[in-house]
Amino acid sequence: MGYVAVKGGTKAIQASVRMYKDKQHAKGFEIEVAHIKANMNQLINQIMSEASLYDRDLAALSILQAEGNMEEAVFLLRAHRSTLPRLYYSTVTNTRDMFVERRVSASFKDIPGGQILGASPDFTHRLLDDDQSFTGMHDEAVEASYTYSLDALPKVIDYLEQEGLFTKKPEDDNEPDDITKQTIEFPSSRSERLQSLTRGQTGAVTSLGYAEIRGYGYSSHPNIGEVRVGQQPMHIDPYDTGDAYYIGDIELTEVEAFMPADEDEMDDTGSTEKTFKIGYGLTFGQNETKAIAMSVLDYSLEHPVGNAATSDDEFVLLHIDSVESTGFISHLKLPHYVTFQSVLDRVRQTKGGDGQ
Amino acid sequence: MRQNYAFLDENSKKEIRRKTLKAISIPGYQVPFASRELPIARGWGTGGLQLTLSLIGQADILKVIDQGSDESVNAVNIRRLIQDTTGVTDTIHTDEATLIQSRHRIPEVPLKPYQILVLQVPLPEPLRPVEPSERITKQLHADKEYSGAWLRLFEQIMRYGSITDDADYPVLVGGRYVMAPSPIPRFDNPKLEGNDGLILLGAGREKKIYAVPPYTTVTSLAFLDHPFEVESFDDVTCRESGLTGVYMDELIDETTGETYYMTNDTSYMIEEMNKEGSVK
Amino acid sequence: MKTADNVALCVRNFSKHYGDGCAYCMDEDAVLDRNICPECGTIHACSDISFDLHKGEILGIVGESGSGKSTLMKMLYFDQEASSGEYHLADFLDGDRDVLKLSSRQKRQIRNEILGMVYQNPVYGLKMEFSAISNIAEKLIASGSRNVGDMTATGDHFLGKVNIPLNRKYEPPVNFSGGMQQRVQIAKALSNYPPVLLLDEVTTGLDLSVQADVLELIKEIQRELGISMIVVSHDLAIIRMLCDRTMVMLDGSVIESGITDQILEDPQHAYTQQLVYSIL
């Protein structure tokens, strides 16, 4: 009899999982987690950022287990994250204390502390290299010397502020919302937006940021005040004594994008002045494109324009999460026999049948 | 890696239980909760699963069904995760279970006072087809402004001569909140009302929990002169068991090419067939 | 306070300001720069407006853009919240309650059952993608009707009244001309026979011949149904044609009010004089 499709599900699943595992790694070519951790830094950065879990070892493990599939790797880490209690919040950290490894400004040629190109693929030629000279180990390490201390570099934004071209917002000491403990309610707070954006799918954040500046929102070219990548010291203060403990460094990418905009206040004559406003991006690991796109979206959600989708916090925040979008799209392949039977009933009804 | 009992950390479960209590206190109202990621994909039942995982104790007896079947691949997969992380006993017999997780069906056997039915929900907002924005739909619920939901049905009558909403047909709960019953067929809508047991609904991706407590009135939206209609299986008999008046799967006989019908709730069908003096 | 027997709607000391206000501009004798406070920049869109709308009359509100007349209408329809004042409706608990103090849900109910609104731009009053007949049904559903046959009959009646050919009733208004859209909006606003109808610049932007049709329609409906109406316009000719009594607004305040003919014959305020003589 034909009717076996939903019977024997247990056996079918066991067999399917076994086939998948058998197929996973070709014999004789196995790699280890350590190899991935040592060689796939950029992938690890991207996965940690989307998973919002900073752990290079687990990220490397997730890549191996997911056969390099980004969405699966992120999914594995996110699921793991759900099993961990949140024990502490880190204390407020200031990126002025970052040990900077790379830092560029697109706005000023000469910035206090200088441009620091650091390690970046930006100026490599994208030619497939079958000699694999890209893995070449140099005998001599590249050395550079700096006049400033790398853990106390001034920020480009200070320069604008001194000139009166940027007005710092009053400090907001409200406790940030935590989107992993309380779901976002709309209209969203800025802390909710920044958290969603930083864990957003790299491709989704980039695409929406692109749409925003290409013509469906701000429609103008932001100026990158500063992109900096470096090691950020983190502390916790478990007993709330004001005596924080250093727990280690994490690698961060930070972006401050300058957007020319009107001053909020009008003067007596009703005219206004131009000023700069800031879009902010911050990600785990070196994720420069995503951090820049994040800064664009932070700006667009903070300063909505007309009916642009990129100004709509519900539209942006509810659709950029990798686990949510891939999960819902992929669920479409699950059985829907019961609901489809119901659809058939209605379609037949409109065709004048008896609903069967 | 060693896993927690019922996978989630205890604080998360506590939060989900608190939100569940709130949902039971306000029948049909969608309570937002901080939905966690699970080892099963978003959209594959993570809302229902979080409810189950936060409620399940070692003494519980578990039944998981999908498309009316205990052996549907998704049901098997979810049951495996729950069992692997809790070790609880499972059953296919609806009456034996204390906790039933289901996708797309309410079992044919009525709920008992000791039972909780957990339904998996993909799209919890019944007003979403008429209003995309969450902050507006929230206001509409607060104002009990449901003209949009009715208007949708009215427009269908104008366009097609009859209401064309199929599964996930909206209901009014306790005379107050319009609710998406999850994609159960209309056939199951009447089973939402006046139960001895508790029905919980969980949407993981959309991060909402809601409930139909026992003995709550639940009515499907309809007009006085266009009453609510369930899927019709009037002249149809289950080929396997001879049952009538149950939700059926429509199948095609591979050899003859003929359409035939079979009871969708497979455990119910088997129980009926094993009874003394069954139809077949 | 309670509305008098012949009063349909009663407003006392209605104000709306954008900005927090300051000690200077919150004083009732404060001299403002038009409607802006010279001290703190707060905009006083409406200041201390009081009037009664009598049962069965058409009350006109005339003024240039920025005079506060549209803001006043929005407050009456709860599209905007008044900063202060009192608002009574004879058809809500005999005018016994200040409806500004009601919950959002009760205000919604008043909008749906007691008020009708016709906006200058039909986009705000219609669902452009739904059929014309469904648009009318929306108002009927909102005011409690659940009978499709009754609603289509009422819809046909009002569409006929506003001269929409019934063979186009299944078409969405997006396919219609501006004048037709406006007539559908009027039919919708009238369909549940609301005791009070609000009309905001309803003929602005229409061709002159279409304008005349719409105005004629409004007059005819008023005669036939005895609905109390408030008509807002910047155009004195329209006010003269429709309104029994008129209020003139300037910079957020009512500067003159009385019988329409009297205001047109013998305007007292310099601004009204300017307005009247400019059209003569």
CA distances from B48 to A120, B40, B42, B64, B123 (A): 45, 11, 11, 11, 12
What are the tokens at C122?
């039909």
Mean pLDDT computed over every residue of chain C: 91
Rounded to an integer, the average pLDDT of B85-96 is 95
Is residue C28, in this structure, part of any structural domain at all?
A: no
- The CA distance from B143 to the nearest CA of chain C, in Å, is 4
pLDDT at residue B50 above 60? yes
Is residue C15, in this structure, part of any structural domain at all?
A: no
| Cβ-nearest to B76 among A9, A187, A337 | A9
Helix C132-142 / helix C104-113 crossing angle, nearest 10 deg:
130
pLDDT value at position A161?
Answer: 84
Q: Which residues of C touch B29 (CB under 8 A)?
A: none
pLDDT value at position A165?
Answer: 81
**How many domains does one find in chain C?**
1
In the sheet that holds B198-203, the strands lie side by side as: B31-32, B208-212, B198-203, B116-120, B99-103, B61-66, B89-90
Amino acid identity of residue B184, one-letter, is I
User: pLDDT, tens digit, for every residue of A149-171?
Assistant: 788 788 888 888 888 888 788 88
pLDDT value at position B276?
Answer: 65
pLDDT value at position C2?
Answer: 67
Rounded to an integer, the average pLDDT of A199-205 is 98
Is residue A28, in this structure, part of any structural domain at all?
A: yes
pLDDT value at position B109?
Answer: 96
Rounded to an integer, the average pLDDT of A132-153 is 68
C-alpha span between A9 and A7 (Å, rounded)? 5
pLDDT at residue A77 above 70? yes
Helix C132-142 / helix B147-160 crossing angle, nearest 10 deg:
140
C-alpha span between A23 and A30 (Å, rounded)? 12
Rounded to an integer, the average pLDDT of C27-44 is 84
Is residue C18, in this structure, part of any structural domain at all?
A: no
- Reported as a pLDDT band with limits 50, 70 and 90, residue A137 is low
CB C263 within 8 A of CB C255: no
pLDDT at residue B249 above 80? yes
What is the percent of chain A where pLDDT is above 70? 90
Fold held by B10-220: Rossmann fold (3.40.50)
pLDDT value at position A355?
Answer: 40
What are the tokens at C141?
């559903």
In the DSSP assignment, the letter for residue B235 is T
Choice between A59 and A174, residue whose per-residue pLDDT is larger: A59
Rounded to an integer, the average pLDDT of A280-290 is 97
C-alpha span between A232 and A239 (Å, rounded)? 22
pLDDT at residue A269 above 80? no
C-alpha span between A19 and A9 (Å, rounded)? 15
pLDDT value at position A6?
Answer: 42
Q: What is the CA radius of gyration of chain C?
A: 19
- Reported as a pLDDT band with limits 50, 70 and 90, residue C213 is confident
What residue in B sits closest to A351 (Cα-Cα)?
Answer: B160
| Cβ-nearest to A330 among B43, B104, B253 | B43
Residue B72 CB partners (closer than 8 Å, separation 6+): A6, A9, A335, B65, B66
Is residue A1, in this structure, part of any structural domain at all?
A: no
pLDDT value at position A2?
Answer: 32
C-alpha span between A309 and B119 (Å, rounded)? 33
Whether A346 has its CB under 8 Å from any CB of chain B: the answer is yes
pLDDT at residue B123 above 90? yes
Choice between B135 and A139, residue whose per-residue pLDDT is larger: B135
pLDDT value at position A140?
Answer: 63
Domain ranges of chain B: 10-220, 232-280
Mean pLDDT computed over every residue of chain B: 94
Q: What is the pTM of this model?
A: 0.87
pLDDT value at position A147?
Answer: 67
**How many domains does one find in chain A?**
3
User: pLDDT, tens digit, for every residue of B135-167?
Assistant: 999 999 999 999 999 999 999 999 999 999 999
Single out the residue of A234, A176, A256 nearest to residue A54, CA to CA: A234
| Cβ-nearest to B41 among A13, A331, A355 | A331
What residue in B sits closest to C171 (Cα-Cα)?
Answer: B159
**Are A263 and A213 in a shared domain?**
yes
Whether C40 has its CB under 8 Å from any CB of chain B: the answer is no
pLDDT at residue A5 above 50? no
Is residue C163, in this structure, part of any structural domain at all?
A: yes
The domain in which residue A273 lies consists of 95-121+140-320
pLDDT value at position C28?
Answer: 75
Choice between A143 and B53, residue whose per-residue pLDDT is larger: B53
C-alpha span between C270 and B150 (Å, rounded)? 52
User: pLDDT, tens digit, for every residue of C246-266?
Assistant: 999 999 999 999 999 999 999
C-alpha span between B182 and B228 (Å, rounded)? 17
Is residue C219, in this structure, part of any structural domain at all?
A: yes
**Ordered alpha helix ranges (H), chain B:** 10-25, 46-55, 73-86, 134-142, 147-160, 266-274
Rounded to an integer, the average pLDDT of C172-193 is 93
**Are A106 and A235 in a shared domain?**
yes
pLDDT at residue B280 above 60? no
pLDDT value at position A135?
Answer: 60
Whether C108 has its CB under 8 Å from any CB of chain B: the answer is yes
User: pLDDT, tens digit, for every residue of B162-180?
Assistant: 999 999 999 999 999 999 9
pLDDT value at position B277?
Answer: 64
In the DSSP assignment, the letter for residue A155 is P
Which among C134, C143, C168, C171 is the top mutation candidate for probing chain B, defined by the most B β-carbons within 10 Å of its own β-carbon? C134
pLDDT at residue A185 above 60? yes
CATH of the domain at C164: 3.40.50.300
Is residue C143, in this structure, part of any structural domain at all?
A: yes
Transcribe A323-352 into DSSP letters. HHHHHHHHHTTS--HHHHHHHHHHHHHHTT
pLDDT value at position A1?
Answer: 32
Is residue A5, in this structure, part of any structural domain at all?
A: no
Residue B127 CB partners (closer than 8 Å, separation 6+): B137, B140, B141, B146, B148, B149, B178
pLDDT value at position B279?
Answer: 54
**Are A313 and A343 in a shared domain?**
no
Identify which of B1-15, B90-104, C177-191, C215-229 has the greatest average pLDDT. B90-104
Whether C147 has its CB under 8 Å from any CB of chain B: the answer is yes
pLDDT value at position B80?
Answer: 93
What are the tokens at A28?
């004789």
User: pLDDT, tens digit, for every residue of A221-245?
Assistant: 888 999 999 999 999 999 889 889 9
Interface partners of C (3+ CB pairs, < 8 Å)?
B
Whether B2 has its CB under 8 Å from any CB of chain C: the answer is no
| Other C-beta atoms lying within 10 Å of the C-beta of residue A164 | 8
Q: Which residues of B touch A186 (CB under 8 A)?
A: 133-135, 138
Is residue C190, in this structure, part of any structural domain at all?
A: yes
Helix (H) or strand (E) holding C113: helix C104-113
Q: What is the largest CA-CA distance in chain B?
A: 60
- Could you tell me how far CA C70 lies from the centroid of its own chain? 8
Is residue C240, in this structure, part of any structural domain at all?
A: yes
User: pLDDT, tens digit, for every residue of C84-129?
Assistant: 999 999 999 999 999 999 999 999 999 999 999 999 999 999 999 9
Whether B147 has its CB under 8 Å from any CB of chain C: the answer is yes
Strands B177-179 and B116-120: unpaired
Q: Which residues of A touch B134 (CB under 8 A)?
A: 186, 314, 318
